Chains A and B, each alone.
Chain A
Amino acid sequence: MSQTVAVQESASPGAWEPKVVAFLCNWCSYAGADLAGVSRIQYPPNVRIIRVPCSGRINPAFLLRALQNGADAVLVSGCHPGDCHYISGNLVARRKFALLRDLLQYAGIEPERVQFTWVSASEGGRFAAIVEKVVEQVRKLGPNRKLVKSP
C-alpha cells in the first residue's frame, strides 16, 4: 500500500523544521526503517537515524546529549518484547525508558520530545506512521530551548 504523506513545504528557506534524532536498534527498528525506504513509503525527512545494536545499548545520556546539542526531540525504537535479537536487551531497557520519560516529564521537558516505541523489521509502514506522528507533535511544540547549550 502506498502512502502519500504531505511533506510540509517550508514557508521560506531557513524556516524552522523539527530535528528528531532517532536511536534505532539494528535488528528490528533500523531494518523496519530501511523497509519503509525500500517500499517507497514516504515519511517526513526530519528524522536523523542513529543505529545501535540493541535498544538495551541506549544510555540515557545519549538522549540528554541529543537534546543538549539542539535536537528538538528524540525517538528510541527497539524490537517488540520477546523478539529481541539479544533475548532480553529490550526488556532491560523497557524499565529504564519508563523511568527516564517520567523523570524528564517531571523536570518539565515535554513528553512529546522523548518518545519510545517498538518497531519490528517488517513494520515499515508502522515506522513511517510513528515518525510522522512524532514530527507533527514536535512541530506544534516548537523548537527545543530547554537543555540546549548555547554555543
Chain B
Amino acid sequence: MIASHEIETRLREAAEGFLREKKVDIFLGYEKASFPFRTSPLFLSAAEKARRLVWNPFCTANLAVYLPRLFKAPADARAAKVAPPPPTVGVVVKGCDTRSVIALIQERQVPRDKLVLVGVACPGMMDARKAERALGSREALGAGEDAQGNLRAVVEDGTEVTLRREDVLADACLECRSPTPSIHDVLLGSPVEAKETDAARRRTAEFESKPADVRWARLQQALAKCIRCNACRQACPMCYCKDCLLDQTRPRWVGAGTDISDVTLYHLVRAFHMAGRCTECGACARACPMGIDARLLVRKLNLEVEDLFGYRPGAAVDAAPLLSAFTMDDPQEFLTEP
C-alpha cells in the first residue's frame, strides 16, 4: 500500500490549503506518536504546521469524537450573546468515521455546513495491541508497511519482524462494511469495496448458537476484566451526553465499582444506548485498557436494527434517528399473547 504515502502528501496539501485560505479554522488529523504502532490526533490551526500530518495504517482514532465539543452550544441566552461563532472544522475521516459524522449531523450535534470532510478510502487499520502481542516481550522501535500491506517492525536487537496484515488488522476493520466515506468534500484514495460483509453476522451467529446459560457465562467472563474506567464511553463519538445516565446518582441507575452485576448493567445499558447509533468504528474496543471486546453486545444490536427496521446508522444525513421515529407497521412478533 504505497498509496499510504501518496495519500499523506495529498492530505498535507489539502490541509495546508484549507488553513491558508481560511476555509477552515481548525483541521483535525493525525500525527506521529511517541511510539510505533500508534498515531495521535492533531489539532492544526497553522497552515505551516500541516507537515505534521501523517497517514498510515495506525490512524485508528475516530476523530468525530472531538466534534461535539467543538460545536457546543452556549449554556444560555446571555452566554449566546458573547459566544464566538462556531468554527469551521476540517477533519480527516475514514469510512466508519464518516458514518459517525453523519450520525452526529442526524442528531443535530454538528452542522454539516461547518464541516470540511477530507475523506480517505480506508483499506483497514492495524491494531497496536495485536501487533505488540505478536512481538511478545520484544519491543518495536519502528514500524512501517511493506509493499504487500504487511507490517514490518524493527525490534530492539535490530532484527526485522514481519507481521501478516490479516493478523494485525483491527477487529472492527475485519468486519467493516463501509470502508469508503459516503459523504466528503475531498476524497483521497480510490474507493474501496467492503470485503467480508458477513463477518459480523457470522460472529453473532456463532455466539447465538450456544445455549442461553453458556452465552451468559461467556458474557460474564468477557466483562470480568472491566475496571469501570469509562474509556469505551469516552472514546465513542456518539456518547456526548453532558450527564450520562451511567454517572447519575439521583437515582443511581448503575452502582459504581466492579461488582459483576453493575459491570454487566453498564455494558448492557451503554450497548442499548447505541441502538441505531453505533457506526462500528471500534473506538470503544481500542480504548479499553483491559482488551475487552467492547463491541460484543452492540455487534448484535446493529444487525437487529438492520433486520427489523432496515436502518443503518450514519447512512443518510437526513434520515430520522431510529428510536425517534416509528411506523404503524413496526414489527411486533416479540409480544406475548395469552
Contacts and interface: CB of A to CB of B under 8 A. Distances in A.
- When A and B assemble into the complex, do they touch directly, with CB atoms less than 8 Å apart? yes
A82 to B, nearest CB: 7
A116 B335 contact: yes
A41 B261 CA distance: 38
B261 to A, nearest CB: 4
B323 A130 contact: no
A126 interface: yes
Contacts of A88: 326
Interface string B198-219: 0000001001100011111111
A108 B269 contact: no
A148 interface: yes
A117 B337 CA distance: 7
B316 to A, nearest CB: 18
Interface string B47-59: 0000000000000
A140 interface: no
A149 B262 contact: yes
B309 interface: yes
Contacts of A146: 216
Interface stretch (A6-14, A30-38, A44-52, A91-99): A91-99
Interface string A73-113: 00100000110000010011011111111111111111000
State the main secondary structure of chain A at its contact with B: helix
B35 interface: no
Interface string B281-321: 00000000000000001001100110011000000000000
Given A91-B330, A99-B305, A107-B216, A61 B336 contact: no
B255 interface: yes
The CB with the most chain A CB atoms within 10 A, among B216, B218, B322, is that of: B216
Interface of B: 204, 207-208, 212-219, 245, 253-255, 259, 261-262, 264-265, 268-269, 271-272, 275-276, 297, 300-301, 304-305, 308-309, 322-324, 326-328, 330-332, 334-338
A82 B337 CA distance: 18
Nearest to A123: B338
Given A81-B332, A99-B308, 14 more contacts: A60-B272, A61-B245, A64-B269, A68-B265, A91-B326, A92-B324, A94-B326, A98-B332, A99-B301, A106-B204, A107-B216, A108-B214, A116-B334, A146-B216
Closest 5 A-B residue pairs measured CB to CB?
A108-B216, A129-B338, A108-B215, A149-B261, A91-B326
Contacts of A96: 275, 323
B309 A95 contact: yes
Contacts of B331: 98
A119 B207 CA distance: 34
B308 to A, nearest CB: 6
B335 A118 contact: yes
A74 B332 CA distance: 18
24 contacts: A60-B269, A61-B245, A64-B265, A64-B269, A68-B261, A68-B265, A75-B336, A82-B328, A94-B332, A95-B326, A96-B275, A98-B330, A102-B304, A102-B308, A103-B272, A106-B208, A106-B301, A107-B219, A107-B264, A108-B215, A117-B337, A130-B336, A133-B338, A147-B265
Nearest to B338: A129
Most buried by A among B271, B301, B326: B326
A140 B216 CA distance: 19
A134 interface: yes
Nearest to A99: B275
Contacts of A132: 338
Given A91-B330, A126-B338, A108 B213 contact: yes
B262 A103 contact: no
A150 B261 CA distance: 8
A52 B168 CA distance: 50
Q: B214, B253, B272 — which one has the most chain A CB atoms within 10 A of its CB?
A: B272
